[in-house]
Chain A
């Protein structure tokens, strides 16, 4: 099985520890991981801000970078959703504008092989117990694109429930958006901050020591809000929890 890690530009630049955790976790599960260095960004910031044409070369680059791999795994539900939902759409629009089917075909080829990390673990590897140990109280925030575009369902929860030492706390209003939304966080900063503050308040109300999610962009927003409020709740990506073992604690 040739598995490529699509680390995403945000993780590459700001959260490399998440990428390292995915590598460690997958290798522990016997998966051979490759990192195609031609990868950069899926084009989501451009596309979601209204610069579809700016996103096109990135769609093309993404498809080329991951060509030939059986599975592409990414620790970001949002970027997986971009590849699965919007890359074909961008390709189809280019074709409709009379610019040929090349982009559409390239996008269609990478689509079925792209998996968000928890999907890959549960659906492809068929595991829910990854042998992890994380002796902390944790609450889980399902991020919007994982929840509604990918339909991750209870996969992340099932993985968390099998982590040794982990106590899972319910988050009230879990399915409500944290208010990140890419450039929304800056363009509509007041509403974004109000949403973030409500989310932070509910996270603190769980009494958990850490909040976990499948997307570092939302985590950056929630974590930044918690930090500004002086909260000790740690934001942590699910990959880092799943990669932890008893040796790490000792």
Chain B
């Protein structure tokens, strides 16, 4: 298994291979069923879940319809709080920015908090080419990195590995990256987690630069939020001197209050917990003891917010930003002087587009940008359970990946064009989605883009795409079927021919029909259609 998405086979081929891998299917089945049952119980605890879900969908809808406004507001608030905001239209630009920022620190090793956004842009590989080693710190991501593997699940990236496989990877590879696996390491999860703790702790304690994503960023306050379980996030977000967060532009939520809705929905949908063990929130750069004391005098959060807004407004004025940089001391500098910094002294936020605005331009597909990456849709998806995450060929597997990837990357490649069809449209994903993304609706919409072509937005520009070549025979068949179905007399003739020749129908079909008859018997064609029975017994005239 190589760590790249290039040249991946299309979904049906990769999925077919996965269905033949008994170990993989066992691992996936156990994991998805365990978590789906737990999620149902966690959700049932909140009586007004449907209202929360509706609120979340509405807040995301508001955000997306006014995304420019909220991005500018986020930028102003983060800048006012001492952070630096960068914009990246695509993966290449984001990688250039991050590489430049890391180089400026003089470091050649950086720590990473689990981030699908940086996987999407291939950041680790880009840093590697610049001579910078990026070490993953989430346990599952560590397993994936050491195994030179790819993640296969949003929440549990190493879901396809069982404990014995993980022990073997740790024994074989940990030494290449730092502290080796303890002698005689067993395969019990507690032992394996302890091995990861020891291996990573020495990295955490001396790290100078960390790279993260974010679950949410609050436009009103400039606050970033990372939700996690292990504490590797807290380590990366608080110990290093420089923190770089690469965040998709769709991660913004308007207000501090709005955040409450998502903090209730995400953990229950994701890990099936009331709340995940650790959530970190930070606004700009490290706050000093002094400023913390000042904030203490603010009576309410509302007052503090007002103060933050006033600062943001002041900073947003033309020329004001330069003034803050050179004229007055930033809070980080003040913190450093006071020696009481709580967290990184430098904070960089990289706002990433990379296909998100193209997705936004599609009024049906836009709802995919509501996604909060909880992975509930993966855990209930019968197709994901059998196909595994790798078949989806991107960091975004499962139903959400099937609608997100073809929008972020386009449908030019065979793999990306096959993703919208990787679903039986059973609707289980829509049912559990905490932000009510109608995934089946978007799947069908994207099937149309592949089958019929049409106008899309790519790289910010309108383009006309042609129908996919692989669908030509199907297109002709659909057209013929549609004509027959629009002419009941022709339909009746076809039915009669089928009935008359029923004894001659083969039990197994050749060509594409073999895909059905390989595992399923064909239904027998009856001697008489319903239509004919009705006409014969009810004595009504022939149709049209």
Q: Do chains A and B touch in the complex (CB under 8 A)?
A: yes
Residue A228, interface by CB 8 Å: yes
Residue B94, interface by CB 8 Å: no
Assembled-state Cα–Cα distance A32/B426 (Å): 34
Closest approach, in angstroms, between the C-beta of B194 and any C-beta of chain A? 36
Q: Chain A residues near B543 (CB, 8 Å)?
A: 37-38
Beta-carbon contact of B15 and A191 below 8 Å = yes
| A48 in complex: contacting residue of B11, B431, B444, B526, CB < 8 Å | B444
Classify the secondary structure of A's interface with B.
helix
| B386 in complex: contacting residue of A20, A183, A191, A227, CB < 8 Å | A191
**Range of interface residues on B (Cβ < 8 Å):** 35 or more
Beta-carbon contact of A15 and B424 below 8 Å = no
Residue B457, interface by CB 8 Å: no
Beta-carbon contact of A181 and B452 below 8 Å = no
Q: Chain B residues near A52 (CB, 8 Å)?
A: 444, 448, 452
Given A14-B526, A48-B444, A49-B447: A194 in contact with B19 (beta carbons within 8 A):
yes
Residue A145, interface by CB 8 Å: yes
Assembled-state Cα–Cα distance A191/B423 (Å): 10
Assembled-state Cα–Cα distance A194/B20 (Å): 9
Q: Give the residue among B382, B383, B387, B538 with the most A Cβ atoms within 10 A.
A: B382
Residue B428, interface by CB 8 Å: yes
Q: Chain A residues near B520 (CB, 8 Å)?
A: 185, 193, 196, 221, 224-225, 227-228
Q: Chain A residues near B486 (CB, 8 Å)?
A: 40, 57-58, 61
Q: Chain A residues near B491 (CB, 8 Å)?
A: 9, 12, 40
Q: Chain A residues near B538 (CB, 8 Å)?
A: 35
From A89, which residue of chain B is reached at the shortest CB distance?
A: B441
Beta-carbon contact of A37 and B19 below 8 Å = no
**Range of interface residues on A (Cβ < 8 Å):** 35 or more
Assembled-state Cα–Cα distance A43/B484 (Å): 12
Closest approach, in angstroms, between the C-beta of B373 and any C-beta of chain A? 23
Closest approach, in angstroms, between the C-beta of B406 and any C-beta of chain A? 12
Given A177-B382, A186-B515, A221-B520: A11 in contact with B530 (beta carbons within 8 A):
yes
Given A14-B526, A51-B478: A186 in contact with B516 (beta carbons within 8 A):
yes
Q: Mark B283-310, 1 if CB is under 8 A from A, else 0.
A: 0000000000000000000000000000
Residue A50, interface by CB 8 Å: yes
Given A16-B526, A38-B544: A54 in contact with B424 (beta carbons within 8 A):
no
Residue A148, interface by CB 8 Å: yes
Q: Which chain B residues (1-32) contact chain A, with CB distance < 8 Å?
A: 11-12, 15-16, 19-20, 25
Closest approach, in angstroms, between the C-beta of B248 and any C-beta of chain A? 27
Beta-carbon contact of B544 and A37 below 8 Å = yes
| A189 in complex: contacting residue of B25, B471, B518, CB < 8 Å | B518
Residue B412, interface by CB 8 Å: no
Q: Chain A residues near B478 (CB, 8 Å)?
A: 45-46, 49, 51, 54
Q: Which chain B residues (492-538) contact chain A, with CB distance < 8 Å?
A: 495, 498, 512-513, 515-516, 518-523, 525-526, 528-531, 533-535, 538
Which residues of B are interface residues toward A (Cβ below 8 A)?
11-12, 15-16, 19-20, 25, 363, 382-383, 386-387, 420-428, 430-431, 441, 444, 446-452, 471, 474-475, 478-479, 481-482, 485-486, 488, 491, 495, 498, 512-513, 515-516, 518-523, 525-526, 528-531, 533-535, 538, 540-544
Contact sample, A vs B, 6 pairs, CB 8 Å cutoff? A16-B533, A52-B444, A144-B427, A181-B426, A191-B16, A193-B19
